[in-house]
Amino acid sequence: MNAIRRYLVRRLLQMVVLLLLVTIITFGLMLAAPGGPERVLLAGEDPNISAEQIAHLRELWGLNDPVYVQYFRWLNHTLHGDLGNSFFNQKPVAQVILDRLPATLELGAVVIVLTYLIAIPAGVITAVKQYSWMDYLVSTFSLAGHSMPSFWVGLMLIFLIALHSGGAIPTNGFAAPGVTLAVSGLIPFLIDRARHMFLPALTLLIVGLAALTRYTRNSMLEVLREDYVRTARAKGVGEKVVIYKHAFRNALLPVITLSAGLLASLFGGAVIVEQVFSWPGLGFISIRAINQRDYPLVMAFLLVGAILSMLGNLIVDVTYVLVDPRIKYS
Amino acid sequence: MASMQATPAAGQLQSGVSDASPLLSVWRRFRRSGTAVVGLAFLLLLVLMAVLAPLLTREKVDFIDLANKNQAPSAQHWMGTDQYGRDVRDRIIWGSRTSLAIGFTAAGVAVLIGSAWGAVAGYYGGTWIDISMMRFAEAIDLIPLLFLLLVVAALVPRTGILTEMFIIGATSWPGLAFLVRGQFLSLREMDYAQASRAVGAKDFRIIFRHILPNVVAIIIVSATLRVGNAILADAALGYLGYGAPPPTPSWGDAISVGRAFLITAPWVSTWPGVFITLTVLAFNFFGDGLRDALDPRLRR
C-alpha cells in the first residue's frame, strides 16, 4: 500500500508541474496575440483612444513590467480564482465557465456512459466471434465512424432525422423555452431534454465508438490467446465462464488506459458538435470567444481543457493501480 | 537479409516462399489484407485526380455563376451546384489538392518535430534533458487538439495553406514524440548501440546512423495514420472559417457553405463529407495494413 501511495503522490506532483507548464504555454500564447495585450484589453473601448491614454493604461495595467512579472501576477490571480473578466460577456470569466459547464458535462456524461455500454460488449462479442459477418460489419462501421468529420455527421443527422421528424427532434438548443422541472413535471422535462440531446449525443457516439470498440476487441483477442484461457478450456470450464470470468476482466486493463483520452477527446470533440447544434456548453462559447478574440476567456478554456484531460489521466492511473495487482511501483 | 531456400525437413511445413528481400516480403504481407490494398488503390486514384484536376474540371476554382445556384444533381452537374453556382464535383476535385497537400505536409511536420524530439529525449532517457522535454510534450498533449488549433489559428494574422500546414503539424507532434522515445529507450540498450559507443562514436552519430533506421517502420505507420487525422483537422478548421481563406477550395469550407441550405440543397454539404470520410478511411486501411505488414508481431 505504501508503494501505491508514494506512486500516486508522485503522479500528483507531476501533474502540478504539468499544469504549471500549461499555464506558461497559455500565457505565452496570450502574449503572442497580434496588437499586444493593450489592444486586446482595449478591444471594447473607444477606437479613437489617444496614444497617451494607451500609455497610461499600459502603466496602470502593469503591461510595461517584465514578462515574468506579468506572468506571476496572472498566475497569482488565477490561483485565487480570479481569471479576469470576459470582455464581451461583461462577466467574470470564472462565472461564464461555471454557467456553461453543466451543459457540456451533461452531454459528456451521457455520451461516455453510452459509449462504454455499447462499445465494450460490441468489442467482446466481435472478438469472440472473430471473422464472422458481424465482426466485419462492426469493424467496418466503427472504422468508418472514426473517419467521418464530426461536424459533417452532425449535419447529416440533422438532415436525415431532424428535418424529417416534423419537429419531434429539434435541430439545436438545449431545451424548449419554458419547459422546466418545476413547470412541466418530471416526465415531460426528461423527454424534452432527451429530445434535444438526442442528435448531439448520437453524433458524438458515432464518431467515438470506433476507438473503444476496436481497442476492446483487440485486447480481448489477445487475452483469448493466452495460456490461462487455454488451460481453463482444457479443464472443462464452460465457454461462457471462460469468456466472462477469465478473459474479460483481463482484457479490460488496456481498455482502461484508453479511457484516459476519452474525457479529453470528449471536450475537444464536443467543441465542434456543440457549434453545429448550438448546444450552449463550453465548446460553443469557446468558439465564440475565439472569434471575438476574448482572450481572458480563451485562456481560461485552454486551462480547463488541460485540467479535464489531466483529471482523466489521474482517474485512469488510480483505477489501474487498484485493479491490476501485478504492477510494481519502484 | 540472406536468401534462404526452404528445404522441407521431416515433419516441417514447406513455406514455398523464399525470403528474397525484406521489401518484397513486406509487400506480400501487405497484399494479404484486402482492405489495405483497397485503401492504397483509392489513395492512388485520389492523388491522380488531384494531379489531373485542371483536366478533369470544367471551370477554374473561383468561377461563380449565380444563374445556376443550388441546382440539384443532374447530367450536367453530377453532384449539383452550390449557392454560388459552382459545380460541387469540381469543387471536390480542386479541394482534393488542398486537402491532400495539407494532410501530407502537416503529417510531415508533425513527424519531423516529433521524431527529432522523441529521438533526443529517448537517447538521453532518464536525464533531466529527457524529463523536461517530455513534460513539455505532455503539457501540449493535454490541451484538447481542436481547441489548441483554433487558438493558434486565431493568433496568426492571416491564415493560408502554409500556415495551416504548420499549425496542424506543430500541435500534433507530442504523440509521435512519445512513440519514438519509447523505441529509443528500448533500442538504446541493444548491443550495437553499446558497441558503437565502445568504439567511440559520438552521441549524435549514434542517434542518427544506428538507432533511427530501426524506428523508421513505426514512424512510417504513424505518419500514414496522421495524414488522415490532419485531413480531418483541416476540414474542421475550414468549416469553422479558420482554414485557408476563400476562394481556396477546401472540403471543410465546402461543407460549411452548404450548411444554410441543408433542406433545399443537401448535396452541397453531403458530397465533400463523403469524400473526406472515404479518404480518411483509405488512409486508415492503408496504415493498418502497413503496420501489419511491417511487423507481424504487431498484428492483432
User: Each residue's pLDDT tens digit in chain A (330 positions)?
Assistant: 677 778 778 888 888 888 888 888 887 877 776 655 555 555 555 566 667 776 776 676 666 677 777 778 777 877 777 777 666 667 788 888 888 888 888 888 889 889 888 988 888 888 877 777 888 888 888 888 889 999 999 999 988 887 777 777 777 777 777 666 667 777 878 888 888 888 889 999 988 888 888 888 888 887 777 777 777 777 777 777 766 776 777 777 777 777 666 776 777 778 889 988 888 888 888 888 888 777 778 888 888 888 888 887 777 777 777 766 665 554
Which residue is it, cell 478450456? A233
- For residue A134, give the C-alpha cell: 458481424
Q: Per the CB < 8 Å rule, is A268 touching B157? A: no
* Cβ-based contacts of A135 with chain B (< 8 Å): none
Give the SS3 label for residue B87. strand
Any domain includes B67: no
Q: Is residue B64's pLDDT more than 80? A: no
Compute the distance between CA of residue A234 and CA of residue A242 in angstroms, rounded to an integer. Answer: 11
- B160: domain range? 26-56+87-298
Q: Are B276 and B100 in contact (CB under 8 A)?
A: no
Q: Per the CB < 8 Å rule, is A32 touching B155? A: yes
pTM: 0.83
Q: Please tell me what DSSP assigns to residue B61.
A: T
Predicted confidence at residue B109, as pLDDT, reads: 94
Predicted confidence at residue A75, as pLDDT, reads: 79
CB pairs under 8 A between A and B: 131
Predicted confidence at residue B19, as pLDDT, reads: 47
Highest mean pLDDT among A212-226, B33-47, B154-168, B202-216: B33-47
Any domain includes B73: no
Structurally, how many domains does chain B consist of?
Answer: 1
Predicted confidence at residue A36, as pLDDT, reads: 54
Q: Does A88 touch chain B (CB under 8 A)?
A: no
Burial B172-210 (b: 16+ CB within 10 A, else e): bbbbbbbbbbebbbebbeeeebeebeeeeeeeeebbeeb
Stronger pLDDT, B96 or B211, i.e. the higher one: B96
Mean pLDDT, all residues of chain B: 78
Residues 6+ apart with CB under 8 A from A237: A246
Any domain includes B5: no
Residue A91 dihedral angles phi and psi, to the nearest 5°: -140, 160
The residue-averaged pLDDT of B97-114 equals 92
Burial class (CB in 10 A: 0-12, 13-18, 19+), B39: buried
Peptide bond into B54 cis (omega under 30): no
pLDDT tens by residue, B11-62: 444 444 444 566 777 777 778 777 788 888 989 998 988 888 777 777 666 6
C-alpha distance from A182 to closest chain B C-alpha (Å): 36
- For residue A165, give the C-alpha cell: 421528424
C-alpha distance from B285 to closest chain A C-alpha (Å): 9
Q: Are A221 and A127 in contact (CB under 8 A)?
A: yes
A143 alpha-carbon distance from chain centroid: 20
Any domain includes B13: no
Q: Does A28 touch chain B (CB under 8 A)?
A: no
Compute the distance between CA of residue B168 and CA of residue B190 in angstroms, rounded to an integer. Answer: 35
Option in A143, A268, A287 nearest B144 (CB): A268
Predicted confidence at residue B101, as pLDDT, reads: 92
The residue of chain A nearest to residue B151, with distances taken between CA atoms, is A290
Q: Are A309 and B143 in contact (CB under 8 A)?
A: yes
Compute the distance between CA of residue B89 and CA of residue B71 in angstroms, rounded to an integer. Answer: 12
* Cβ-based contacts of B236 with chain A (< 8 Å): 149-151, 272
Give strand pairing partners of A92. A85
Q: Tell me the CATH number at B132.
A: 1.10.3720.10
Compute the distance between CA of residue B128 and CA of residue B131 in angstroms, rounded to an integer. Answer: 5
Q: Is residue B3's pLDDT more than 60? A: no
B299-to-A142, A222, B27, B33 alpha-carbon distances in Å? 19, 10, 15, 11
Option in B157, B240, B277 nearest A144 (CB): B277
Q: How many residues does chain B have?
A: 300
Compute the distance between CA of residue A300 and CA of residue A302 in angstroms, rounded to an integer. Answer: 5
Q: Does A21 touch chain B (CB under 8 A)?
A: yes
Any domain includes B235: yes
Q: Are B151 and A290 in contact (CB under 8 A)?
A: yes
Predicted confidence at residue A242, as pLDDT, reads: 67
Option in A18, A153, A272 nearest B142 (CB): A18
- For residue A16, give the C-alpha cell: 502540478
> How confident is residue B202, by pLDDT bands cut at 50, 70 and 90?
low
C-alpha distance from A183 to closest chain B C-alpha (Å): 34
Q: Are A38 and A58 in contact (CB under 8 A)?
A: yes
HEC-encoded secondary structure of chain A:
CHHHHHHHHHHHHHHHHHHHHHHHHHHHHHHCCCCHHHHHHCCCCCCCCCHHHHHHHHHHCCCCCCHHHHHHHHHHHHHCCCCCEECCCCEEHHHHHHHHHHHHHHHHHHHHHHHHHHHHHHHHHHHHCCCCHHHHHHHHHHHHHHHCCHHHHHHHHHHHCHHHCCCCCCCCCCCCCCCCHHHHCHHHHHHHHHHHHHHHHHHHHHHHHHHHHHHHHHHHHHHHCCHHHHHHHHCCCCHHHHHHHHHHHHHHHHHHHHHHHHHHHHHHHHHHHHHHHCCCCHHHHHHHHHHCCCHHHHHHHHHHHHHHHHHHHHHHHHHHHHHCCCCCCC
Q: What is the gyration radius of the CA atoms in chain B, in angstroms?
A: 23
Any domain includes B65: no
Any domain includes B255: yes
Interface of A with B in 55-74 (CB under 8 A): none
Compute the distance between CA of residue B237 and CA of residue A188 in angstroms, rounded to an integer. Answer: 38
Compute the distance between CA of residue B27 and CA of residue A242 in angstroms, rounded to an integer. Answer: 38
Question: ∠ CA A105-A109-A111 to the nearest 5 degrees?
Answer: 120
For chain B, which residues lie within 8 Å of any Cβ of chain A, measuring from their own Cβ? 135-136, 138-148, 150-152, 154-155, 157, 228, 232, 235-236, 239-240, 252, 255, 258-259, 262-263, 266, 269-270, 272-273, 276-278, 280-281, 284-285, 300
Predicted confidence at residue B106, as pLDDT, reads: 93
Any domain includes B6: no
Question: ∠ CA A196-B231-A199 to the nearest 5 degrees?
Answer: 10
C-alpha distance from B188 to closest chain A C-alpha (Å): 21
Q: How many residues does chain A have?
A: 330
Q: Per the CB < 8 Å rule, is A272 touching B239? A: yes
Q: Per the CB < 8 Å rule, is B143 touching A302? A: yes
Interface of A with B in 268-327 (CB under 8 A): 268-269, 271-272, 275, 286-287, 290-291, 293, 298, 301-302, 305-306, 308-310
Q: Please tell me what DSSP assigns to residue B9.
A: P
Q: Is the dihedral of CA A158, A160, A163, A165 positive or negative?
A: negative
Q: Is residue B224's pLDDT more than 50? A: yes
Interface of A with B in 211-230 (CB under 8 A): 218, 221-222
The residue of chain A nearest to residue B142, with distances taken between CA atoms, is A306
Compute the distance between CA of residue B182 and CA of residue B117 in angstroms, rounded to an integer. Answer: 12
Q: Per the CB < 8 Å rule, is A148 touching B276? A: yes
Give the SS3 label for residue B233. helix
Q: Are A25 and A303 in contact (CB under 8 A)?
A: no
Q: Does A15 touch chain B (CB under 8 A)?
A: no
Give strand pairing partners of A85. A92
Q: Per the CB < 8 Å rule, is B151 touching A310? A: no
Q: Per the CB < 8 Å rule, is A272 touching B148? A: no
* Cβ-based contacts of A269 with chain B (< 8 Å): 146
Option in A17, A147, A308 nearest B280 (CB): A147
Q: Is residue B190's pLDDT more than 80? A: no
Predicted confidence at residue A324, as pLDDT, reads: 65
Amino acid (1-letter code) at residue B232: L
Q: Per the CB < 8 Å rule, is B143 touching A305? A: yes
Q: Per the CB < 8 Å rule, is A302 touching B266? A: no
Q: Are B87 and B58 in contact (CB under 8 A)?
A: yes
* Cβ-based contacts of A305 with chain B (< 8 Å): 142-144, 147
Predicted confidence at residue A327, as pLDDT, reads: 58
Q: From the candidates A24, A104, A148, A216, which should be mutated to test the interface with B, based on the most B CB atoms within 10 A?
A: A148
The residue of chain A nearest to residue B227, with distances taken between CA atoms, is A147
Helix ranges (DSSP H) in B52-159: 53-56, 88-123, 128-142, 145-155
Predicted confidence at residue B164, as pLDDT, reads: 85
Q: Per the CB < 8 Å rule, is B142 touching A306? A: yes
Q: How many CB atoms lie within 10 A of CB B152?
A: 19
